[in-house]
Structures are given as C-alpha cells and as structure tokens.
Structure 1
Amino acid sequence: MDLLERDAELEDLAGAVEEARSGKGGFLVIEGPAGIGKTRLLTEARKAAAGAKMNVLAARGSTMERAFAFGVVRQLFESTLASASPGERIDLLSGPAEQAIAVLEQAPLKGTETGELSSLHGLFWFTSNLCSEQPAMLIIDDLQWSDMPSLRFLAYLLPRLEDMRLLVVSGTRPQEPGVDWGALAQISEDPHSTVLHPMPLSKEATYRVMGGILNQQSHPKFFEQCYADTMGNPLFAIQLAQAISAEGLAPSEDNAVLVHDLGSSAVGSYVSLRLAQLPEQSAELARALALLGADADLSTAASVADLSMADAQKSADLLERVDIIKSKSVSTGTRTEFVHPLVRAAIYDEMDPVAQFNGHSHAAEIFIEEGDQSEHAAAHLLQIPPCGNLQYVEALRNAARDARTTGSPDSAFSYLERCLQEPPPSGQRLEVLTELGMTSLMVDMRKAAGYLEEVLDLTSDGYARASIARTLGEALFILGENDKAVAVWAGGVKALPAEDNDLRLHLEAGLISVPFVDPGRKELLERVADLRKIPPSESWGGKTLDGLISLHDTFSGNREAVTRARRALKEGVLVENASGQTPVVCAWQALLAADLDEAMDSIETAVVWAHQHGSIAALPVARTFKALGWLWRGDLAEAENDARLAVRDVETARVDISRPFTGPYLASVLMEQGRIDEAEIALNWSGIPDPPPPMGPIQYFLEARARLLRLKGKINEALDGALATGERYLSHGGKNPAIVAWRSEAALCLHALGRKSDAIHYAREELALARSWGAPRALGHALRITGLVEGGSRGRDLLEEAVVALEGSPARLEYAKALADFGAALRRANHRAEARSPLRQAMILAFGCGATPVVEYARAELTAAGGRPRHIAPTGSGALTPSEKRVAELAAGGATNRQIAQQLFVTPKTVEVHLSAAYRKLGINARAMLPEALKAS
C-alpha cells in the first residue's frame, strides 16, 4: 500500500540519513498516537538506510519486557556481537567498549558488579566502534515501553551523536499510561533531537486506504461514518475496512449506522473476527505469544500453549497468513512478533484474568526450569499477584542479582519489590529487605529510606544496626529529613560497641554534615570541636570524618583544613568508596579554596573512576566541582564545558541535589564571560524557589544571584541579595571569603550607591578574613575590592598589593582583574605611562581566560592611557587551555584521535576541535610537528 501524505516526514528522514552518512549523527523521534503510521515510517527509514548502505539494527519496546535490564539495548546489539567473527569481535569491543560485555553477555569484567555509568560508557564506545567503518541506523519502535536503563543509554548517547555516522530513529506514543515521561521528555526535548508529528490522513487519503480493501464504491454517508470513527488514523482505517470486509458488510447508506460498533474498536474487532475463524490451536498460540510479549521464541510459545512444535509451526504459519504475526530472523533462529502492538494488546485484553494469571505462571515456570532465564521468569512474575511460591522468590532474587551485575539498579529494584511481596520465607525476609533497601538508594531515595527503616527495626545486633543507621541516615539527609537523620545516626553511635571505631567515625561525620544544610543545628556545629581532638585514622571512617571537618575548618577559616583534606583524599579511598558523596566533596572544596592543584587531580581521578566503575549519579558531582576549580583558576572555557556536562549529567541521572551547586557555578562562569542572559537561565535551572527555603546549601545560589542583579544594574536588590547571602553563610558557620565572598559583593553595591564608609567597612572585614586564610585568590580579590572602594593613594597601594599577591598564583582571571584595576587607578592618577604595562598584560591574560568584559575594560583604559591595543591572541603552549594541551601531548605521543577520546572520556569530534585549536596557537599544520612545537614553546 502506498504511503500517503507523509512527504515531509520522508524528506526529514532522507536528510537525516544523508547527514549521518557524512558523519553528523542524529536522533529522530516520530511521535504520535497508536496507528498514526509511526511503524510504517520506521519501515521507510529502514529502506532509506539500506539504500544508503547503512548497517541497520532494530528493537522494539514492550510492556512485557520493560523490566528487563537493558532489554532494548540487548535487542539492538546482542545478535551483532554473537554473530561477529573473532576479528570483528575484537574491533567491536576495543577500548572502553569492553565494558559493554557486562550488558550484552551479562559477564562483568573481573567478576565484579558493573557500575551503571561503566555500562553506559562501554555501550557508547561499542556503538561508536560499530559505526566507525560503516554508517549505522538504530531503529527503536515503541520507545515509550523501553526499559529505564536503555532509555538512560539513549540519553547518554544523544549529545555524543554529533560526530558519529549514526542515526537513531524511534517511534513513541504520547501520554501512554504507566510510562515514565520524564525520561522520554529528556530525549524528545533535547536540542539534538528532531521530533516528527505525523498528522491524521485527510478524508481523500482515508477513502483511498479503505477503498483499496473494500474493492467497491462506498456510499458518502457510509464513508463519512467511517472517517468519523477513525479520524484519519491509518491503522484504524485499515482495520475497520478489514473488519467490514470480514463481516460481509456492504458499504451502503443503510449500513452506515452499523459502522460505529465496528469502528469504536476497529483493531479488536478485526482480531476477534480473525481468531474466531481459525482453529483453536492457532488461537491458543496467539494468546501464548501475546503473553510472552515482543520477539517471542516459537518453542517457548508452544510450551506455554501446550502444543507440539509441529502444531505450533502450522499455527504460526496460519497466523502469519492472516496478518496477525510476522516472522523475523535473528542470530539464534526465527522469532515471531505481532504485526502491531495493538494487535497483541487486543488478544491479551480479551483473555480473562484467570487465563492471564495461568499463562504468566506457566511461562515463568518454563523459564525457571531452563535454569538461566531468571530475568525472563521475573518479567512474567511482575504480571501476576503474589502466591507464596519459594521458586518465584529465588527466581526474582536471581534476576535482581543479574540486573545489578549489568549495572541496572532500576530492574533489580522492581524484581526485589515483587520478591518482597511474594513473600520470601521469614528466614530470608531481612536479607531481601536489606538488598531492596540498598538497591533503592540508586532508584528511589524515599522508598530506600522506608525499607531501611524497616530493616533497622528488625535488626538487633549493635554493629549491624549501626551499619544500617549509617546508610539510612544518608538517605534521610538527602531527602531533607534532617531531624530523623540525626536521630538515626545518633542511635547508631549508641548501638555500637566501644571497639567499633571506624563505623563510629562514619556516623559522627554524618552528624556534622547536617549544619551545612540546616542552620538550626547549632549543637552539631559545637560537636566539631570535640571531634577535632580524635587522633587521625587512615581508615575509611577516619577519612570520612576528616573530609567533613576539613570543610567546617574551611568555612571558619582554619588553615588546618588543608591538612585534613589532604589526609581525607590520600590514596583515593574516598573517591572509590564515596564518589560524589559529601565527605569527598567537602575535601575538594577545602583544597580548591586553598588554591591547591591536588584538588583538581583528585576530581579528575573521580571522573575516571566514575566512568570505569561508578554510578551515573557520581559523575555530575565531580564535574560540578571540576567546573568550580576551573572557574577559580580563570579557565572559563574549561569551566563552562565541565559545568554544561554536569548540567546534562544531572538531568540524565536526576541528581537534583547537585542543582544548587551546578547552576550557580555555571552562571558565575557565564557572568565572567559577559553572557548575562544565559547566566540568568542557569540560575533559574538551579530550581531554587522564591523565597528561598530555610534549609539547604543555597548560599552559592544567593551569591551568584546578587552578583547577577548588580551586573544588571539593580543595585539595591543586589545589596539585599548580598546581605541575605551573608546571613545564610554565617548561619552555617561560614566566615571564609574563599568560599563565599559576600562582603565584597555588598561593598561593591554600597560603593555604587554612594555609601562609601559602609562599603569600606565590609571590604576591610573581608580583607582581614582573607589575610587570615592566606590563599592568594581570596586575598587578591579582597585586596582588589578594598582598593576599589577606598580609592586614592591608599586604594592604589592595595591594588598593587593585590597584583603582587596574585602574580604567582593559579588564579589567572583574578590576577587579570587586579592588573586592570591597578592600571586604571594609575591612569586616573595621571600616571599614564606606568598604567600601560599592567593594562596591556591584563588584556592578554583576560583574553586567554575568555573573560570578554575584562578584556574590553582593560582595552578602554589602555586607550585612555595613550596606549595602542595590539593584536592580543596569545600563541605558544602557554596559550593552550588545559584540555588542548593534554590532547596535544597525547597526540604528540602517538595516540590516535580515537584513543585520545577514549582516554579522556570525550568524543573524537571534541579531540579534533582541541587539536585544531592547538595547531593554530602553536603555528603548525601537521600532527608530526606537535612534539617540536610543544618542546619549543
């Protein structure tokens, strides 16, 4: 049958295919109601891909298989890997793609459980390897029924498609009940996605579709009723015409009133009529296939239907002839699927609940007997009510274990929840509940807290209670239930025997984490003084406590923070055991505030560890603080890149707890670049309501908002914001301007309002605190702001001192600002000749940082001082950003672009961009020239 009224969609498909062939991948989402023609368009996409000599891999979401860990991903890739020759297998699994084995063959590397991010990263590189020699198309029908891990993979893949020869084409229904629309919206609303919305057919096209089946002229009133009931839906029109034909209903005026009864459920009517005309064995096979879901194996369906293989094959042939199922070849043989999910749904829905229960039970038992099909068994057990079957308990626990092995906590969570309902025997209940509680931490924090509270109630052993208390307290803390978290942690301390010191340190660390978000817990702040007296411990608990105390000390301006933070991060124990969690973040903040490079080294280690072993939730945290490190150093391009990656990762992993950090840090980067409107968008993304809540680490948001208001000229509002920032920071025990410099922000606002004495008061107060802390960035900033508001010769002296303090520091942008302000002060004092050198140097430094406002300010002052601004594009290795330099060094060492991308966890396109920039800055045009150019520079 011709494809009618889909020219625009076909044109979009053809364009996307051509772009993918040329190396610009894409993601097409065909969205519309059931029957609108999404599957037909996917068929056309397959044809277009074949014509373009693209490798086509296809999958279909299914209500039955939504619980399968990476079910859609495995449909896409398993057969390709299974049928690959030894040489092809090596190519497919080269580099980080080896980590995909955990998903595609359910065989984790080195016998360990695979982190979710490790699985996603491995699958990305497997996909990249797949399309490196031949362009590829991934076709996914019924995306709305995909399992959550597969949706996460697609979300992970989507922003990395730009430089791949890969086109992903999916079909999805809007507003399908029971679907996680947040995950789907993340894909369809991504700027890298193109969404097509096929429209209903016109009356003329609907008439052509139905007329081709009815083979006779329809009376206008008869057709009008047909159109009214199908509303131009192609599938409904076809099925209605087939039902009319099967009923022998003449398309006359008199029969128009009979159309509605058929049209209101056209698909169901057609299927019912067809099945009624078939032998009972065929109907039984159809029901068995409907029970098994998409991509069913005929032998399994035969067992469920209690048919011999010979009878099953005959029945399948007959079902295929009447257009109910179709066969497809896979690497393991021939499988069947329904011609449309609505056909499967119609057959399944006609079965009474008892038949559905018996069918799913029978299917589960068949898979259990096969011994290695626990996940298939579990999928059926999720469809039936609990019945106290011990075999089912074991199958569900095994399925959860397999799901954890592939880094799929969502699926493991579903299986364990169902297992708990079965229920397990009393002797296993606590084990299952514990497994469920720990798995829930990665899926649903509120449910995790509920399950772990029950575990705590059922546990009598002191050490076990304290161990559960540690984890439960963390969950409650993340949920903002601070009073309950404190009670749980304190109860854990009391339950511990005296000799269990390491766990006690963990619990104490938990207690003193609360004041960072809850200003009302002054008694916990006072607890920090006693905990400082505990002898240092190299244990995990000792490092956890050191991490928390290091940030308390940083907040208060105690230089002992550096010693503690170094001790906390030593040997990477926290990165491996608490990646992305409060203790390691506290240590990072302490070292970043002290301008120490080892903080960035630890964060980079955390990024690598997260990709290789960790949870997807840990990555945005590491990237957020990496962005902060670049910001404070003045590497704005690096800072923006990491902050935007963190934003994307926060949305992918739904780590909303990071928003109060990630949004303000990105906004601060954008403000330094002069991109005020974008900064406001980033702040809004943070999700902080107005007025801000009384709890939470929102002083970072408040500080960034105050600065944004000042830059927008709303000085009075900015002053109020700066003072509100100070009030919040002080309530958390914060004094150190290296973390939050609210006093200097208030001083700038007061100075702009003409309140000089008040401005000087706040600036001098911050300067005294910065001198006490001693780190050059905070000190140079405080000196600069104090110099600006004091003015005169005293102000120039302070600005000159700021230049000296920052000269050898890593804070390049703050140094550029100090030079610019010092040069401007000299120019205003009529020392024009002396002003030119610092102003010219400020221009060059600020340009290298990407700080356009500082460049323009220094340029204007230099012109006013009688200087002639020259071309300031820096050259040589000193002009390379850290990422450009790292890529260039790896390329100089002989690594290919692909190898560099794999090592740095970026795409090959990103490597190309960095290398092009490096060539330009180094004045070369070939890779072979890199070693000498880097050495000479």
Structure 2
Amino acid sequence: MMIERWEQLAILGRTAEQVKAGTGRFVLVRGGAGAGRSALVHAAGEEAAARGLRVAQAVSGPLERHCAYGALRQLLEPVLGPGSAVELPPEIRGGPSEPSEVDDQSRREHLVLHEVFGLLAEAVAEAGPVALLVDDLQWADPGSLRWLAYLANRLRGLRVMVVATLLDGDGAADETVLKDIAAAATAVLETPRLSLGGVRAFLAGRWGITPDEDLTGACHDLTGGIPVLLDALAGSGTPPIASAAELSALRLPAASARLARCLRTQPDRVTAMARAMAILGPGAEPGEVAELAALDLPDFDAAERVLRRLGLMADHPGGGPLRFTGSVLGELIADRMSAGEQDELHLRAAAVLYRRGAPVAQVARQLLESSAGSAPWAVEVLRTAATAAMTESAPRTAARYLRHALAHPGADRARLLVDLAAVERSYDLPACSRHVHQALLLLPDPAARATALTLVPPLIERRYVPDPRRMRAVLTELGESTAREPEDRDLALLLEARLRVVDPAGILLVPAEERLRMLDRGEALGSPGARELLTTLLYWAGVAGAVPRDTVVELAHQVLAREPASPDRMYTTLPLLVPVLAAADALSGVASWLGGVTGRERAQPDLPAVVGWAGEALTAYGTGALDRARERAEAVLAVGNLRLAGVHTQCLCVLAEVAVELRDCGLAREVVRGCGPEQPPWLKSQAQGALAFTSGNPTAALEYFGDCARQLDRSGLATAMVTPSVRSKLAVLLAMTEQKEQAEVVAKEIVAEAVAWGAPSAIGRALRVRASLMDRDEQAVPLLREAVGVLESSGNRLELAKALLLLGERDAGTPDAQCCLARGRRIAAECGASRLGSDPAVAPEGGPGAVLTAAERRVVDLVVEGRRNKDIAELLEVSVRAVEKHLTSSYRKLGITGRAQLARAVEGEGEGYRAG
C-alpha cells in the first residue's frame, strides 16, 4: 500500500510519460532500513508498464556483490530478448574472454560498457522504451555499478527509465561510483517514516477496520512508523482490537531477519553499538553505550551516524539518551543474538552501569537478565534494589531480585532468605513460610531466629504457621539474653504474642488473664513487642469476659493511639484489636485507623489490604451498616491467593449474621459453601443455622445454633464476640418451637451476662429479646424503653432501630409509639435493613382489590404454610398483636372473611394479592 507516498508516485508517473516521449530519466529512491524503497520501485514498474514501457528488474543482495555483472545480466537479458545472451560481451556473459587487441584493462572495461550501452540503444530503437529497475543499489556488484554510472550520464535522447533504490547509511553507499550515480539522478525520492495518520491508514487497509487512537499510537510507538515493521505487525495475526499490552508481547521473525541482514553488511562498530543499545534498553546514555560496545569516540560517532541514516535511531538533541526509532527494534536485535551472547552482554552492562553510578534498579535489571556472576557487588545491588522496589509497593519485583541474589556464589543465604520471606508474605504465604523454615536452619543466634519467626503473619492458615514447638524453643533460648539486651526483651515479647495466637493453650504459657495482670501498664504500652502482646492478651482474656469491659476499651484505644495505621501493622497481632473493640461496642476511631491501610493505591490486593478489609467488615457490622459489612467481607473472600484462616473465619461469621438480619437465604447458602475444612466446627454450625433460619426451619436452626454455642463454650473462643448473638437466636428459636420456659431461662441469662460485660449493644439486644418473649405489653414496654436508652450510647445503629420498632409496636396507642416507629424505620433504612423499616404497626385502610404491603404478604404466606400467629410473630420479631392487625387488613383487602379462605386468595383469586 502506498501510504503517504502519493507525491512520489506522481513523479514516477510523469517520469514514465517523459521517457515514452523520448527523454531518458534516472530516478533515485533513498531511505532508511525498512522504509519502503522496494515497494516504491515495484510501484514504479507498474506505472511504467501502464504507459507501455517494457520493465526489467534486478534485485541485489549482499551475496551478489561478488557475482560479476550479475545485476546487469538481470536487467539486459529480458530487454534484449530470447537468445540475446550470446550477443553480450564474454565478460558480461561470464564465459572466457576472447583475445583482444586492447592491452589496457581499464580501457577494455570501458569498451565493454560502451558495447553494452550500444546493445541497449539498439533494443530500445527496435522494440520501444524500457524501464530498468534496480533494488538495493548499494549491494550491486562493481561491474554492474560502473555500467549504471555510464548509462546514467548518457540517458538524454534515450527512451530508458532507470529507477534505483539506495539504502541510506550503508557503508557501501559512500563509494565513489555510487556517488557518481546519485549525482546523475534527475530526481531523488525520499521514503520517510509514516506519520500517526499514515500508521492508522496502513493498518485500516490491512485489517479492514480502522483502529482506535490508543491502538494506533501503540503501533506507532512500537514500529516508529517504519513500513516494514508495520507490515510484519499487520501480518502477525494481530486482530484490530488488540491492546497495547498484547502488542508488546508480539514477535516479528520476518522483520527480525531483514533487520539482521541489514546490520550484517555494516561495519562491526555499527553492529556493536546496536547490540549495546538493545541490551541497555530505551534511554541509555551515550557513554554507557560506548563503554558497553567498546567504542572510542570517533568510532562511536561514526556508528551513530550510520544508525541514524539507516533510520534505526531517533535523534537525541543535546547528547541526551539514545533510543531506537521504534521500541520493537531493540527486541528484534536482541532476538538475533544467542543466549550466551545476551547473557555475556547483560553481565557486562551491569558492570558498566555499576561503575558509572547508574540507579541501582537499572543495574539490578541487567543482573536479572543474566546468569549469576561472581561480582562481589552484585548481591548487595540486588538487595538494595529489592528494598527500593518495596518502597514503591512492588513486592513481586523485589522477590525477583532476592531470588536472583540467592544464586550468586558467596551470598549470605540466611540473610537473603529472611529478606525474601519478608517480601513474599504480602502475596505468597506458602513461599514465605517455606523460606522462613529454610532460614531457621542457617541463622546463627536466637535473636535472628526469633526475628525470622515473627515475619510470618499470625492470622494465616495453620499449615503455614511455624511449628509452635520451634517457637517455644526459640523463646526459651531468647529468654536467657533478655536481661542484658533491651532489643532481645522486646523481640521475646513479639514472639510470645505470636505464639499465643497460633497455640493459645500452650503448656508453657501462663493463662492470658493471669499474664495480663502480670504486665505493668506503662511497660505494656512502651514498646512494639509489649503492645502486640497486650493486644493478644486482650483478645483472649478480654473478649472472653475475664477482664472488665472498661479496662479492655481503655487499653485497646491506648494501643491504637501508639500504633499509627500502616500496612506493616497488618502483619502483626494488632488487627485483633478490631474484634476486641467490636465485642466491647467501642469502635470509635477504628474505621479511620483501618482506612490508613485500605485507602492506599495498589495494583492488586495484598495481605495488608485483605486484613484491613476484614476489619472494615467487622466494624461495619458492629455499627449496623449491613451493606458495607457484606461488601467488605465478600471482597476478602474473593481474593483466592491469600487464604487467611482467621480473617476468613471472621468474614464468614459476619456474612452469616448479615444473612440472618436480612433473611437472605441465598447469602446464607453461600456462607455454608464457603466453610471449607480449615474452618472451625462452631462456624460451620453457625452457617447451617443461618441457612435453616432464613429457610423457615426453626427446629433445624435451633439445633445448629445450639451446637454452635456448645462448640464455642468448649473452645473458649471469642465468647463476647459471637456467643451473645447466637444465644439471642437460641432464645427466640426456643420460643418458636414451643419451649417457652427454656426460652425465658436463656433470655434471662443473656441479660445477666450482657450487663456483667457492659457493652451497650449487648445489653440492648438482650433486653429487646427478653421483651419480645413477653406476652403482655405492659411488661415488655419498660424493658424496651430501657433497651432504647442503653442503645442510644451504642455505636450499633441497627440494634437501636430494632428496639425502637419493637417498642413502637408494643406501645401502640401512646403518643410516643408513632415517633418510635418512624425513627426506627429511618435508622433501619440507613443500615440497609429495609425489611425492618417496612413493617407498619397498623394495617393501612383499604378494601377489596387494594394491594397488600410487603409485611402483609409475608404474614399471609406464613399463615398459608400452616404457621400460628405466635410462631409468625417470633419468626418476624414482631408482636402477636401486629400479626393479627396484618391479617385483619389482608382479609379486608382480599375480600375474604377468615383464615380458611387465604389459600384460594394466594392461588390468584384475590386481585390485590396478585398486584402486590
């Protein structure tokens, strides 16, 4: 395709017309490598043939340079006709020379040229005008070049059109004969690189679809607008909808071979410079390239001129960085080198950059592309580059540097393994655990081993956690030096904190509540290790109710105040403060603390983000924001490459609670499916209980939630976090299954436990559940008013909404009832629990044909299933009186008189029911 070559085509057309009219012309086509010179010569032949000229073409190549008169024979044999070869002089035919009376060799060559010229003139006179096309003039043999120079200066009056191409920058192009030929040209046509618009037109012609701006720009940057590279790109099977990322992965073997052939004919200094630029990559400094290519200043300047004239190198005004014309050129040049050549050049490039003080990342990238060498500075460069990569949040890049450093002879493997584990823990927990284990066998002292053990995040699956026995042994060794070294004392506290997470019932450990009493408060907050240990002790002792709630809240907030949020905190035990404060209903400030981690930019989720999201899920649920809680918990579970057992347990627990609050059977089913073998039995029972509850099976739900409570009691896990909610459900389910007395006993126990712990949300929930079990409103209303009063100071807005709504229903007819209902609905809607807010206290007025409300439809559906009013009230967490009002209103709207007619109405006889 002749894109952006219309002016050149017009000149060729006019030239053919002039030759046909009797005036010989010589057109020289110049351009860099791959600029489309051959395509333009082919187009010249078409223009000439269209005007009645006979066309003969010679194609030259590097090997033809030694074939005497090879190009000349290609041109003349078709022009002179069949059998004409016998008329050519023997020097041209390549046979033995006949005896000649001319002794001077140069004179004989001149006579031969004159004789051949005469044969051409006779052929033109007899058969008409001729177009002679010569591609790659710089590679033609010397004899053919001399004849073309002879012809170029004698074309006047001869109906011959000569079109030849010349590669700019080729070393042979400076020869005297080529200069004479170029000087004789009547027209010189340039073949510049294609513009951005030309690239778009070229691709549209090849693909049949015009590419968009982004793809066009990517193709232009990749090829530099060089037609031969564009042709290879368009013919590589690339669809027109390919992205820039897909383009960068392409390989263009045809273009690579042509480029290699071009460079092979150049002086060694040109090839050396091109290879050095390819190895160093875009933006290499001239001094770096010259040193790697081993070129002095004159040779470097000469090589640079050639590459620029070849069209392979972009201009760099002011001595700036060197770049190829298209970004793919460096890859094509590198592809033509053997693996050994590339390896050697990359090692040399690293050494050159190191000596010249280049940025450490540049040196490290060169080392990565080579096999491990013996340079003593290489390991430290790679370690420094890894540190820099971590500051730029690129742990995978840092890990590549450190793995390569491990392969270098004489590397400190123990130190590198520890560094590698610290990098990998953000995205590859199995590798982190494995490298910590390997480092432990090499580290010389207890402090170094303890540091390695504390690298493993504590909130991960047990199979990746270090062996508790190894941790206890290191802790014992470390204890012998803690009296002398403050750093060792703090390290011992860090290790104890981690050990209490992975093995809370360890035989050598003092019980958490006793250990908490042993800590001096000032000392417990004075160092990172002490604060981590305090956090762990608060988790095990505080949330189990062994420590007063006020003490837990005070200490936990003091830890948060001394530990600013950062990704590094998510690798410690500090995230356990979130469930501690959630159980204490004291989440003020926690969301902003977590936001310091979750609000940062990242290419993909890492461990700090996942732990932070889990904390946000629990915080949102603890404040009643159900939609936010669900979104954050599901985000954690969607990250498949980071299986964090404790974090996933927390998120599944949150989703099970949200499913019950929203009566979402589908969500409960997802929680059941998400409980894999690694999850604790109590969580599996909780998930099954949520599914049974949302499916309307109170008997099964009672059994599962009861088992969940028993499992929690046996394990002693998170009593104040999970058990109160589970036991509240048990009280409701016992009442629904006609176990009134047992329900009353459980409800009273819940109130006593909540008051003893002191968390407002737990007290308010316990009072509401206790009140919901009372048949008489005058007994329930005081408890509900007390619950509302307590919950006003709670951060859990959903519990406040539920208490207000139940108070409005049970206190119906009083001036405050409607205010409680309106406020409860508003708060419930803000929490995402519209199910609660849609329940009216009084059925709306209406008659036959009126539309049932959502609450009325639920009540009607449950009645049709055979449920009694009392069961329905307990399932929907409303009063029996409210159920009766919904039924009365539904009868009136459906035009029926009683319960027995509901089934027929549901089947479609009631228009109001269908419309609803």
TM-score above 0.5: yes
SS, match of residue 693 in structure 1: coil
**By how many angstroms is 1:590 displaced?**
2.0
Residue 705 of structure 2 is matched in structure 1 by 722
Residue 396 of structure 1 is matched in structure 2 by 382
**By how many angstroms is 1:774 displaced?**
2.2
Which one of the candidate residues 283, 287, 301 is aligned to 2:275? 287
**By how many angstroms is 1:569 displaced?**
4.2
Which one of the candidate residues 787, 795, 799 is aligned to 2:771? 787
Equivalent pair of 1:470/1:492 in contact (CA under 8 Å): no
Alignment partner of 1:458 is 2:442? yes
Residue 422 of structure 1 is matched in structure 2 by 408
CA distance in 2, matches of 1:633, 1:721: 26
- Percent identity, aligned pairs only? 23
SS, match of residue 314 in structure 2: strand
Equivalent pair of 1:709/1:718 in contact (CA under 8 Å): yes
Which one of the candidate residues 574, 581, 586 is aligned to 2:576? 586
CA distance in 2, matches of 1:421, 1:365: 18
Q: Label 1:625 to 1:712 Cα distance change in 2 as closer, same or farther (>3 A).
A: same
Matches within 5 A, 1:55-94: none
**By how many angstroms is 1:365 displaced?**
0.8
SS, match of residue 591 in structure 1: helix
**By how many angstroms is 1:606 displaced?**
5.0
Give the number of aligned pairs: 609
SS, match of residue 389 in structure 1: coil
What do residues 429-486 of structure 1 show as CA deviations (whole Å, max 9, x unaligned)?
54444434434434543333333334433334344444444335x4695664446145
What do residues 343-394 of structure 1 show as CA deviations (whole Å, max 9, x unaligned)?
5444323322321121111101100101243221211111222232213223
Which one of the candidate residues 333, 338, 343 is aligned to 2:320? 333
Residue 478 of structure 2 is matched in structure 1 by 495
Equivalent pair of 1:445/1:479 in contact (CA under 8 Å): no
Q: Which amino acid aligns with 2:323?
A: T
CA distance in 1, matches of 2:643, 2:400: 18
Point out where structure 1 has 5 or more consecutive residues left out of the alignment: 4-166, 174-208, 215-225, 237-262, 867-937
CA distance in 1, matches of 2:625, 2:271: 68
Matches within 5 A, 1:13-24: none
**By how many angstroms is 1:555 displaced?**
3.4
Residue 193 of structure 2 is matched in structure 1 by none
Residue 852 of structure 1 is matched in structure 2 by 834
Q: Label 1:398 to 1:787 Cα distance change in 2 as closer, same or farther (>3 A).
A: same
**By how many angstroms is 1:546 displaced?**
1.7
**By how many angstroms is 1:612 displaced?**
8.8
CA distance in 2, matches of 1:865, 1:762: 39
Alignment partner of 1:375 is 2:361? yes
Residue 891 of structure 2 is matched in structure 1 by none
Q: Label 1:403 to 1:690 Cα distance change in 2 as closer, same or farther (>3 A).
A: closer
Q: Label 1:333 to 1:498 Cα distance change in 2 as closer, same or farther (>3 A).
A: closer
Alignment partner of 1:531 is 2:515? yes
Alignment partner of 1:412 is 2:398? yes
Matches within 5 A, 1:70-149: none
Which one of the candidate residues 820, 825, 846 is aligned to 1:838? 820
Equivalent pair of 1:664/1:701 in contact (CA under 8 Å): no
Equivalent pair of 1:511/1:524 in contact (CA under 8 Å): no
Residue 349 of structure 2 is matched in structure 1 by 363
What do residues 668-700 of structure 1 show as CA deviations (whole Å, max 9, x unaligned)?
56875787767877x59xxx74544255xx967
Alignment partner of 1:811 is 2:796? yes
Matches within 5 A, 1:637-786: 658-662=647-651, 665=654, 689-695=674-680, 703=686, 706-707=689-690, 710-713=693-696, 715=698, 718-719=701-702, 721-723=704-706, 725-734=708-717, 736-740=719-723, 741-752=725-736, 756=740, 759-760=743-744, 762-786=746-770
SS, match of residue 570 in structure 2: coil
SS, match of residue 580 in structure 1: helix
Q: Which amino acid aligns with 1:861?
A: A
Q: Label 1:674 to 1:328 Cα distance change in 2 as closer, same or farther (>3 A).
A: farther
SS, match of residue 323 in structure 2: strand
Equivalent pair of 1:378/1:415 in contact (CA under 8 Å): yes
What do residues 766-798 of structure 1 show as CA deviations (whole Å, max 9, x unaligned)?
344323322121122122233334544555564
- Across the aligned residues of Structure 1 and Structure 2, the Cα RMSD in angstroms comes to 4.9
CA distance in 2, matches of 1:331, 1:715: 82
Matches within 5 A, 1:199-278: 265-278=253-266
What do residues 146-190 of structure 1 show as CA deviations (whole Å, max 9, x unaligned)?
xxxxxxxxxxxxxxxxxxxxx9969999xxxxxxxxxxxxxxxxx
Q: Label 1:231 to 1:776 Cα distance change in 2 as closer, same or farther (>3 A).
A: closer
CA distance in 1, matches of 2:795, 2:737: 33
Alignment partner of 1:504 is 2:492? yes
SS, match of residue 287 in structure 1: helix
**By how many angstroms is 1:551 displaced?**
1.5
**By how many angstroms is 1:862 displaced?**
4.1
SS, match of residue 409 in structure 2: coil
Q: Label 1:810 to 1:168 Cα distance change in 2 as closer, same or farther (>3 A).
A: farther
Q: Label 1:326 to 1:443 Cα distance change in 2 as closer, same or farther (>3 A).
A: farther
CA distance in 2, matches of 1:528, 1:514: 14
**By how many angstroms is 1:838 displaced?**
2.9
CA distance in 2, matches of 1:502, 1:334: 50
Equivalent pair of 1:361/1:380 in contact (CA under 8 Å): yes
Alignment partner of 1:861 is 2:841? yes
**By how many angstroms is 1:560 displaced?**
2.9
**By how many angstroms is 1:759 displaced?**
4.8
Q: Which amino acid aligns with 1:855?
A: G
CA distance in 2, matches of 1:493, 1:689: 39
SS, match of residue 556 in structure 1: coil
CA distance in 1, matches of 2:241, 2:830: 60
Q: Label 1:655 to 1:800 Cα distance change in 2 as closer, same or farther (>3 A).
A: same
Q: Label 1:676 to 1:303 Cα distance change in 2 as closer, same or farther (>3 A).
A: farther
Determine which structure has greater relative contact order: mean sequence separation of CA pairs < 8 Å that are 6+ residues apart, divided by chain length. 1
Matches within 5 A, 1:907-918: none
CA distance in 1, matches of 2:736, 2:317: 72
Residue 110 of structure 2 is matched in structure 1 by none
CA distance in 2, matches of 1:751, 1:524: 45
Q: Which amino acid aligns with 2:837?
A: V
Equivalent pair of 1:707/1:745 in contact (CA under 8 Å): no
Equivalent pair of 1:748/1:789 in contact (CA under 8 Å): yes
Q: Which amino acid aligns with 1:710?
A: F
Equivalent pair of 2:386/2:399 in contact (CA under 8 Å): yes
**By how many angstroms is 1:667 displaced?**
7.3
CA distance in 2, matches of 1:317, 1:750: 92
Q: Which amino acid aligns with 2:532?
A: T
TM-score between the two structures when normalised by the length of structure 2 = 0.56
Q: Label 1:376 to 1:607 Cα distance change in 2 as closer, same or farther (>3 A).
A: same
Q: Which amino acid aligns with 1:584?
A: L
TM-score between the two structures when normalised by the length of structure 1 = 0.55
What do residues 555-600 of structure 1 show as CA deviations (whole Å, max 9, x unaligned)?
322343542453354263344686224532223322232222xx43
Q: Which amino acid aligns with 2:322?
A: R
CA distance in 1, matches of 2:213, 2:588: 36
Equivalent pair of 1:555/1:739 in contact (CA under 8 Å): no
Equivalent pair of 2:801/2:825 in contact (CA under 8 Å): yes
Equivalent pair of 1:547/1:564 in contact (CA under 8 Å): no
Equivalent pair of 1:466/1:493 in contact (CA under 8 Å): no
Q: Label 1:397 to 1:806 Cα distance change in 2 as closer, same or farther (>3 A).
A: closer
Equivalent pair of 1:413/1:436 in contact (CA under 8 Å): yes
Residue 911 of structure 2 is matched in structure 1 by none
